[in-house]
A and B are shown apart, each in its own frame.
Chain A
Amino acid sequence: MIKLIVIRFLVGGFFVSGFSVLGTIFKPKSFAALFGAAPSVALATLALTIKTDGAFYAALEARSMLGGSAAFFVYAWCAMILLHREKPETKFATAGLLVIWLIVAMALWWAFLRRGA
């Protein structure tokens, strides 16, 4: 169990760091920003889940990822509007708005995803 957690941590860290390096080196900035929603955690998690729990289990996780992605869109769009119009501190705005992601993701899960594939 501990070994699996350590492997997950290292693989997840590797994928997230790798995509964030790509986001750093590309120009223009509007293009580099696309890496903000790179499937880094998804790739790391799914690759390991396929090994441990099989393809059907991983596919079910990917199905729910659709709800998470839609919530991510709402979150990022709200962050853009808030930063552009209200001028808050970036760290407080982006961290505080994670509640929006949680609410939208939970709502979509409750409405469409909780019954399984």
Chain B
Amino acid sequence: MTMSIRVNPAALKEAKWHEYAIRFFLGGLITVATGLIAKSFGPAFGGLFLAFPAIFPATATLIATHEKERKRRVGLDGTRRGRDAAALESRGTALSTIGLFAFGLIVWRLLPMHRAWLILTSAAGSWFAISVLVWRLRIFLHRA
């Protein structure tokens, strides 16, 4: 049995507009902060914050809240289900940081010698490919 990846645009309707606004605001804030930290303390220090989990707490909390609400609608206490959903989100995010590491490595080693757009696009593609590979590998090992 393989776990197939699907797209469900209807899921967008579940989230409220202010949830997207929070993510936009936090994303903008950390990008500004990263730039200011790099200007004040240098790029070697500021670069750490390119991988700061700025929106993860908000995302995990929203996922837990949505799961909880879904269970409440059918008369169940969804507290445990919500926490389990947040734990699952944490695990997927942890796996994806391996791809994030590869992204940084590619940009660090190749950016000075090649076109910027090509390197950023390749690095983003590598993040995705490696993250999916690690995710698939984890499922395979779990079932073996």
Given contacts A12-B27, A79-B60, contact A5 B124 (CB under 8 A): no
Complexed CA–CA distance, A38 and B111 (Å): 19
- A73 to B51 Cα, complex, angstroms: 10
Considering the chains assembled together, what is the distance between the CA atoms of A105 and B53 in angstroms? Answer: 12
Q: Does B72 contact A (CB under 8 A)?
A: no
Minimum CB–CB distance for A81 against chain B, Å: 8
**Which residues of B have CB within 8 Å of A43?**
120, 124
> With an 8 A cutoff between CB atoms, is B3 at the interface?
yes
Shortest CB–CB separation between residue B40 and chain A, in angstroms? 13
Find chain B residues with CB under 8 A from A70 CB. Answer: 97, 101
Instruction: List the B side residues contacting A42 at CB < 8 Å.
Output: 50-51, 100, 103-104, 107
Number of chain A interface residues as a range: 35 or more
B84 interface residue (CB < 8 Å to A)? yes
How far apart are B50's CB and chain A's nearest CB, in angstroms?
4
Report how many residues on chain B are interfacial, defined by Cβ distance under 8 Å.
81
* A contact patch SS: helix
B101 surroundings in chain A (CB, below 8 A) = 66, 69-70, 73
Identity of the chain A residue whose Cβ is nearest the Cβ of B49 in the assembled complex:
A68
Contacts A24-B11, A62-B111, A72-B53 given; indicate if A36 touches B96 (C-beta within 8 A).
yes
A-to-B contact residues, CB < 8 Å: 4-5, 8-17, 20-21, 23-50, 53, 55-73, 75-77, 79-80, 83-84, 87, 90-91, 94-95, 98, 101, 105-106, 108-109, 113-117
A-B contacts besides A35-B96, A50-B116, 8 pairs, CB < 8 Å: A13-B28, A34-B135, A37-B96, A64-B45, A65-B47, A76-B90, A105-B52, A109-B45
Q: List 6 A-B contacts (CB under 8 A).
A: A5-B35, A8-B28, A25-B11, A26-B7, A76-B90, A87-B80
